[in-house]
Structure 1
Amino acid sequence: MPFHAVTAHRAQLGEGPFWDVDTQALYWVNIAGKQALRLMGGRLRVWQLPEPVSAFIPCERGDALVTLSSGVYRLDLVTEALTLLCVADPQPGNRGNEARCDANGRLWLGTMQNNIGAQGEDLPITRRSGGLFRIDTDGQVTPLLHGLGIPNTLLWSDDGAHVHFGDSLDGTLYRHAIQADGQLAPAQAWFGPHTRGGPDGSAMDVEGYIWNARWDGSCLLRLTPDGAVDRILELPISRPTSCVFGGPNLTTLYITSAASPLDHPLDGAVLAIEVDVPGKPCHRFAG
């Protein structure tokens, strides 16, 4: 299958791809480089931010959310002004990591111990201080999980009854039932660990299969709804970090990646490939 890099940009830590159906635009971030990026109409725009940023998600009202180390902010895409929406995780020394919106347009944010130094260098992770939080359009925060290591992957079943959620420190993707009060039932191990790297971000296709990026595994795993490996998609990058379905028919798979010691030419690029099954669309923040 032919891959191509969608821009010449290379990220230290590319993450959080989001495809906006209405504008046919791809959003993503360079966490360590403190950059929010958008590719629309063949043109790349970069917003330089004051802190590491883990997600860049458009809002229904026309601005976007950015999840920075100090909180969740609204970003005015024209003036570049930042306005604090909320501090989801008050734990000192934590930062945001995985973030996606559910079908109701609420933001779910997974946090972790900050592992990025002032110059973008890696810092060791020494504690499981992260959590999972749900954020309503008015900024109200509901804690859902605590004691997390490296939260990655947030995907919901069509009926909204379950969420898939991963912790890379465990090498495992979990499945939680969503209870009537909105809280999560205890985790059920759904997939992993696996020999092909650790679990990072994921996307779901219309058949309910999950495409999981494998950090240090140079591949995506397509996983069946029962948690078995359906196929391995080999990649020309060392550290794929996440993926999203986009394009006019949601059959273009966009894959973010990070730099690595192996220094492959495409490490840090966003790759695109056409696949044989369409994916499910992303949801904007409803606010």
Structure 2
Amino acid sequence: MEWTAVTGHRARLGEGPFWDAPTQALYWVDIAGKQVLRLIGANVQIWQMPEHVSAFIPCESGDALVTLSSGVYRLDLDSPGLEPRLTLFCVADPQQGNRGNEARCDAQGRLWLGTMQNNIGENGEDLPVVRRSGGLFRIERDARVTPLLRGLGIPNTLLWSDDATTLYFADSLDGTLYQHFIRTDGGLDPALVWFGPHQRGGPDGSAMDARGYIWNARWDGSCLIRLTPDGDVDRIIELPVSRPTSCVFGGADLKTLYITSAASPLNHPLDGAVLSIRVDIPGKACTRFAD
């Protein structure tokens, strides 16, 4: 497989790739570097955030949501990179000492945000996760917040079945991908183990392809694992980075796979890069926030 680094940028902790089909743009973040980035063609634009940021998702209204440590904000995409115009949208998780981590929009354009104990120091250094203080929250277009799960360690992977009855969700602290059945009232049934710990690293972010297979990035595993809808390993895709963090399908035909990654003690040349590769099956499109 032929991998390409899409820019020369190297993140401390690259995460949250989002492909915006209407504008053919790739959005992602550097959590530890406090940056949000957008790539259109060969041009990358960077906005410097005042806090750690875990997701950067465009809105139907023309701006974007950014999930900062202190809350969810709207970012004016016409504002300069060093002077971003931010407006508080909501505080999903009021727990002191927590920060946002995984965030995705469902097919209805509602934002789902997983939070966790902050594990990044003032200088970007790793801090141990010593408490399960995180949660999962659903945020409506009118900024209403619905708590869904409590007691989470490191929330990752947010994907939904086509019929919107099942949530696929990982807790990296457990090394496990779970299924939650979504009740008719919007609440979640208790977790069912879908894919347990694996020797090739821990579960991080994921993308779903058109056949319902899940491509899961493996932190410290230098690979993606493609999982069947039944939770079996279909294939392992080796990567030239130590810590892949998430992936998304993009390109005009949704057959370009973009993978974010993080720096690591191994100092591989591509650690922290966003990689791209052509694949043989399209993925599912990302959904903008509905407001």
Cα deviation code 1:29-71 (max 9, x no counterpart): 0000000000002100000000000000000000000000000
Distance 2:278 2:68 in 1: 32
Supply the distance in 1 between the matched residues of 2:193 and 2:129 (Cα, whole angstroms). Answer: 23
Partner residue, 2:41: 41
Paired residues in the alignment total 287
- Which contiguous aligned blocks of 4+ residues in structure 1 show a shift greater than 4 angstroms? none
Cα distance in 1, alignment partners of residues 128 and 173 from structure 2: 12
Deviations 1:86-113 (A, max 9, x none): 0000110000000000000000000000
Describe how 1:143-182 pairs up with structure 2 within 5 A: 143-182=147-186
What pairs up with 1:238-277 in 2 under 5 angstroms?
Answer: 238-277=242-281
Structure 1 CA distance, aligned partners of 2:152 and 2:269? Answer: 33
Residue of structure 2 equivalent to 1:8 = 8
Cross-structure match for 2:208: 204
Partner of 1:93: 97
Q: Is 2:108 the counterpart of 1:104? A: yes
Unaligned runs of 5+ in 1: none
Partner of 1:23: 23
Structure 2 length as normaliser, TM-score?
Answer: 0.98
CA RMSD across the alignment: 0.4
Tell me the distance in 2 between the aligned counterparts of 1:192 and 1:5.
Answer: 31
SS of the residue aligned with 1:145? strand
Aligned to 2:64: 64
Distance 2:171 2:49 in 1: 27
Q: How does the TM-score come out when normalised to structure 1?
A: 1.00
The 3-state SS of whatever aligns with 1:57 is strand
CA distance in 1, matches of 2:290, 2:67: 16
Give me the whole-angstrom Cα distance separating, in 2, the residues matched to 1:108 and 1:230: 28
Paired with 1:269 and 1:155, the residues of 2 have a C-alpha distance of 24
CA distance in 2, matches of 1:92, 1:52: 14
In structure 2, list runs of 5 or more residues that go unmatched: none
SS at 2:104 equivalent: strand
Q: Which residue of 2 aligns with 1:235?
A: 239
Identity %: 77
- Give the aligned residue type for 1:137: R
For residues 87 and 117 of structure 2, the distance between their equivalents in structure 1, rounded to whole angstroms, comes to 24
- Corresponding letter in the other structure for 1:225: P
